[in-house]
Amino acid sequence: MKIKSACNYIFKDKYFQNRYGNVMLIYAFLLALIVAASLFDENFLTVGNFKNLLLTSFPLLMVAFAQGMIIFTGGIDLSLGATVALSNVACVLLMNPDSPVGFVLPIFGGLGVGLCCGIANGVIISKAKIPPIITTTATTAIYEGAALLLMNEPGGKIHRPFAKFLTGDVFHIPVALFLLILIFLFVRTLTNYTPYGKALRAIGGNESAAYSTGVKVDRIKIKVYILGSLLAAVAGIFLSAQMFSADPRLGKQYSMNAVTASVVGGILLTGAVGDLMGTVAGVFIISVINNMLNLIGVSSYYQFVFQGLILIVVLSLPAIKEKRAMN
C-alpha cells in the first residue's frame, strides 16, 4: 500500500507530470513496442538480442546526445555524421595493431579530429553568424571530403584486444553499457542541473534575451558544438572497434537519424525544451522498430513504410496528450 501511495504521489504530482510526462509516455511506448515484438518473435526477448541492440545503438546514442544538446540552443549540426566518419578514419589510420598500447594515440587522434570539427563549426556559427544548418551542410562536405582524402576506400587495421574489450563484456555486462551510463550521466547532469545547461536552454528559448541577461552566448555555443563533435568522435572510435576497420562513407545516416531520435525523444526542434533521458528512448525505439521488423520478417520493401508510420504514431502521442489535457 505504501508503494502504491508513493507511486500515486509521484505520478499524480503536477510538477512531475509537467516535467517528465512526455518522457514517461515515450518510455511507455518503448515498453509496449518491446512487448509487441516479444509476442511476435520468441528470439526478441533474449540477452543476445538485447546486447546486439545495445552495441548497434551505441554510436547513434552518442550522436543523438550531441544533436540533442545542440538542438537545445536552437541550432542543428548536420555534420555530426561526417565527423563520425572522419574520426573513424583518423582513429584507424593512427592505429598500431602490433604495439600493446597502439590504441592510445588513435583514441586521442579521433577525439582531436572531433575537437577540430567542433571548433570550426562553433566559431563559424557564433562568430560569422552563419545559420547552423548552412554552416554544417558546408562543413559536412569538407569533413566527408577529408575522410575520402585520407582513405579512398574502406580498410585499415585495428588493435584487436582494444576492439574486443570495447565491444565485449566485463563481469558479463557489456563495456558499452558502462560507457553509455557514464556518458549519459555526464551529459544529462550538464544539460539539466548546471548553469551551463540552463544557459543552453536560455539561448534556445530566446538568444537575444539570454544575451541581454549576461549569458555569454558565443562561448556557450562554441562549447556545445565542440562537445557535440567530441561525442561524434566517440561514436567514430567505437565504430572502428565494432568494424575492425574504417569506412570514409560511414556516417551519412547518423546526422538525420540523430535528429529523428531527438524529436522522438521529446526534444523540440525550436530549442530549449526536452530531456536527454527521452533521447535514449528515442534511439531505442528506432533500433527496436528495425530489429522487430526484421525478426517478424516484414518484407524489406515495407520496412521503411512501417518505420515511418510507427514514428508518426510516437511523435503524435504528446500532441494527443496535450489535446486531451486541454479538453
Partner 1 sequence: MKKTTTMVIALLLAMTMVLGVFAGCSSSQPAADTPPASADAPADDAAPADDAAAAQSETRSGPCKEGPYKVGMSCNALSISFWVQQNQEFISEAEKLKAEGVISEYYTTNANHDVAKQISDIKDLMTKGCDIILIDAASSTALVPVVEECFEKGIRVASFDNFVDTENQTTIIKQDEEEFGRLGAQFIADAIGGKGKICILNATAGVTSNEYRRKGAESVFSQYPDIEILAEANGDCDYAKGKGIVESYVSAFEEIDAIWSQGGAMTQAAIDVFNSVGRPLVPMSGEGNNGFLRAWKENAEKGFSSVAPVISTATPRVALNACIADLQGTEAEPIIQMELGVITQENIDDYYDPELPDSYWCETDLTKEELKELYSK
**Distance (Å, whole) CA 256 – CA 259:** 5
Backbone angles phi, psi at 173, to 5 degrees: -115, 130
Cell digits of residue 64: 543523438
Q: Contacting partner 1 (CB under 8 A), which of 109, 118, 156, 228?
A: 156
Q: How many residues does the chain have?
A: 327
- Does 69 help bind partner 1 (rule: CB under 8 A)? no
Using left for φ > 0, alpha for ψ between -120 and 50, and beta otherwise, residue 75 falls in beta
Q: How far is the CB of 25 from partner 1 (least distance, A)?
A: 6
Which residue, 123 or 315, has its beta carbon nearer to partner 1? Answer: 315
Q: How far is the CB of 270 from partner 1 (least distance, A)?
A: 23
Q: Contacting partner 1 (CB under 8 A), which of 239, 263, 277, 280?
A: 239
- Segment contacting partner 1 by CB under 8 A, of 50-58, 116-124, 132-140, 212-220: 50-58
- First CA to last CA distance, the chain: 32
Scan residues 157-196 and list those touching partner 1 (CB under 8 A).
Answer: 163
Q: Which residue has the cell 563495456?
A: 175
**Distance (Å, whole) CA 121 – CA 225:** 7
Cell digits of residue 202: 536560455
Q: Contacting partner 1 (CB under 8 A), which of 115, 243, 268, 315?
A: 243
Cell digits of residue 99: 604495439
Cell digits of residue 209: 534575451
Cα 196 to chain centroid, rounded: 20
CA angle (231 as vertex; 228, 232 as ends), nearest 5? 90
Which residue, 2 or 12, has its beta carbon nearer to partner 1? Answer: 12
Instruction: Give how many residues touch partner 1 by CB under 8 A.
Output: 68
Residues forming a β-bridge with 246: 155
- 239: amino acid identity, one letter: L
Give helix 80-94 / helix 254-264 axis angle, nearest 10°: 130
Q: Contacting partner 1 (CB under 8 A), which of 6, 9, 19, 39?
A: 39
- Does 313 help bind partner 1 (rule: CB under 8 A)? yes
Q: Contacting partner 1 (CB under 8 A), which of 2, 4, 12, 14?
A: 12
Per-residue contact string for residues 262-301; x = within reach of partner 1 by CB under 8 A:
-------------------------x--xx-xxxxxxxxx
Helix (H, G, I), strand (E, B) or coil at 283: helix
Q: How far is the CB of 229 from partner 1 (least distance, A)?
A: 19
**Distance (Å, whole) CA 58 – CA 234:** 10
- Segment contacting partner 1 by CB under 8 A, of 175-183, 193-201, 219-227, 315-323: 315-323
- Does 56 help bind partner 1 (rule: CB under 8 A)? yes
- Give me the residues that bind partner 1 (CB under 8 A), please: 11-12, 17, 21, 24-25, 28-29, 32-33, 35-36, 39-41, 43, 46, 48-49, 52-53, 56, 59-60, 148, 151-156, 163, 239, 242-250, 252-254, 287, 290-291, 293-304, 306, 309-310, 313, 317, 320-321, 324
